[in-house]
Amino acid sequence: MRKCQTIFTNLFLHKGNKMKRLIMAVFFAASLMTFTTTAHSENFNYIVGASVDGGQAKWAQQLTKQWNKFLKNYGHTVSLRYIKQQNGKKALTEFATTYKNDHTVILQPKGITAWVTTSGGWKGYDPKNNVPIAGQLNGTFVFAKTKLPDIPATHVGGGAETILDVMAMVVMICGPMELSETLQCQKEKLRLVYGWKGSGQRRKAYLSNDIQITRDGFAHMRKTYKDELKSGKTKVWFSHGIADSKLGMIADPNHPHTFFDKVYYKKWNKLPSGDYFNVYRQTLMFRSGFGKHIVVQANNPHYSDLVNSFKEMLGDKGARKVLDKKLGVYPWTIGKSTEEVHNMVWKSLDKKGLNNMEIIRRTFKENTNINPMLTFD
């Protein structure tokens, strides 16, 4: 910098062509502006708590490909990093320890439900301390063969938080019952298959009819199950819906006629209710409200750049068209609106529901212990 100042001074003191001196002065001023702008530029590490080929990763890849086009206007870029260990837990604990004071790290959390249902090993991580940048409220669908056996088979595992999907199946199959009766019905009406190595293995098992009920997102409805849906071998049994900060769970905008509540009412002539259903719905709010979102540490000096560039991306017709095609036409939240969804989810919890959550989830061979860090107003 001092060398540039010396050159600039010498040019002005030296007798010579005025135009040359003027050009050099403008060049120097531009150099000063560039120096000032890039001094605070960052290459953000965008951490995904999943493997490079999973659903979380695919979402991040499509998002950052578009987001980088707008971040560069602020002098920033993002680069993806994958931490797949412990089903997302390692990424969360590193965010709370290694990157506690690092404002160049963006986190796409995976495993918030696990944080609620696991009592130890989080190393101080608390999702309520995260500061949200944005999120997308994705939906999930449950697919079933149109010709089901008396006791259909489904999977526990082979994807993130599949217990939730099985709970929904149990409520739909068993109907209005007391908790103890529903747990007995769960044993009698569904065959649960464990030991999956990943979602790919589970999808192959469904297509080969080794299991007859499965779950997946919007992209897989249009791709993986396209032929089976077209031929009539498979149907969208129901859709879980998406979280809304004011209304709780609402119908999926891409498939509103298969919303769980509507399908249940058609089958049982009443709206779903009861302790088992309440646990399913509470868990669903976590998956929908926290499923696809990005956060930073508190007091991040670049927060406004990150939020504003995200707004610009969503406001751009070209970028939005690509995102809608790749990620589905789902609502986006930014900054405060993302925080409102998260707050709605936290407020949906109650002690009775969490106690029942422990009881139900343990029937799926999970060592559930509600996190003692949870507090209630």
374 inside domain: no
Among 16-20, 182-186, 309-313, 350-354, name the one with the lowest average pLDDT.
16-20
Clarify whether residues 261 and 155 are in a common domain. yes
Instruction: Identify the pLDDT of residue 206.
Output: 97
Residue 370 resides in a domain: no
Same domain (yes/no): 283, 295: no
pLDDT digits (tens, 9 = 90+) for 261-301: 999 999 999 999 999 999 999 999 989 999 899 999 999 99
pLDDT given at position 375: 76
| Integer Cα distance of 241 and 260 in angstroms | 7
Tell me which residue has tokens 């669903």. 284
pLDDT in tens, 61-96: 999 999 999 999 999 999 999 998 887 899 999 999
For residue 377, the model assigns a pLDDT of 61
CATH number, domain with residue 103? 3.40.190.150
Question: Which range has the worst mean pLDDT, 61-65, 136-140, 371-375?
Answer: 371-375
State the average pLDDT over residues 3-21.
46
The radius of gyration of the chain from alpha carbons, rounded to an integer in Å, stands at: 25
Instruction: Beginning with the edge strand found earlier in the chain, give each strand of the sheet holding 105-108 in spatial order.
Output: 77-82, 43-48, 105-108, 292-296, 131-136, 332-334
Regarding whether 97 and 55 lie in a shared domain, the answer is yes
Do 170 and 202 have their domain in common?
Answer: yes
Residue 17's pLDDT is 54
* pLDDT at residue 21, as a whole number: 54
pLDDT (average), residues 242-246: 91
Question: Residue 201's domain is classified under what CATH number?
Answer: 3.40.190.10
Alpha-carbon span 81 to 75, nearest angstrom: 20
Q: pLDDT tens digit string along 175-190?
A: 999 999 999 999 999 9
d(C-alpha 161, C-alpha 165), whole Å: 8
Same-domain check for residues 156 and 83:
no
Residue 266 counted as domain residue: yes
DSSP code string of 304-331 = HHHHHHHHHHHH-HHHHHHHHHHH-S--
Indicate whether 233 pLDDT > 50.
yes
Residue 237 placed within a domain: yes
Cα dist. 231→141, 146, 246 in Å?
18, 10, 39
20 assigned to some structural domain = yes
For residue 373, being part of any structural domain is answered with no
**Full domain range(s) for residue 14:** 2-38
Could you read off the pLDDT of 300-348 as tens digits, one per residue? 999 999 999 999 999 999 999 999 999 989 999 999 999 999 999 999 8
Number of domains in the chain: 3
Q: What is the pLDDT of residue 223?
A: 87
Alpha-carbon dihedral sign for residues 281, 285, 288, 290:
negative
Residue 319 lies in a domain: yes
Structure confidence at residue 197 (pLDDT): 87
In a domain, 275, yes or no: yes
Side-chain half-sphere CA neighbours of 65 within 13 A: 13
Question: Residue 199: what pLDDT?
Answer: 87
Mean pLDDT of 231-252: 95
Give the pLDDT band (50/70/90) at residue 160.
confident
**Same domain membership, residue 235 and residue 147:** yes
Are both 118 and 215 inside the same structural domain? no
**Percent over 90 (pLDDT), the chain:** 74
pLDDT at 11 over 50: no
Task: Indicate the pLDDT class of residue 234, thresholds 50, 70 and 90.
Answer: very high
If asked whether residues 307 and 249 sit together in one domain, one would say no
Residues 146 and 227 both lie in one domain: yes
116 and 148 part of one domain: no
pLDDT tops 70 at residue 59? yes
Q: Indicate if 120 and 27 belong to the same structural domain.
A: no
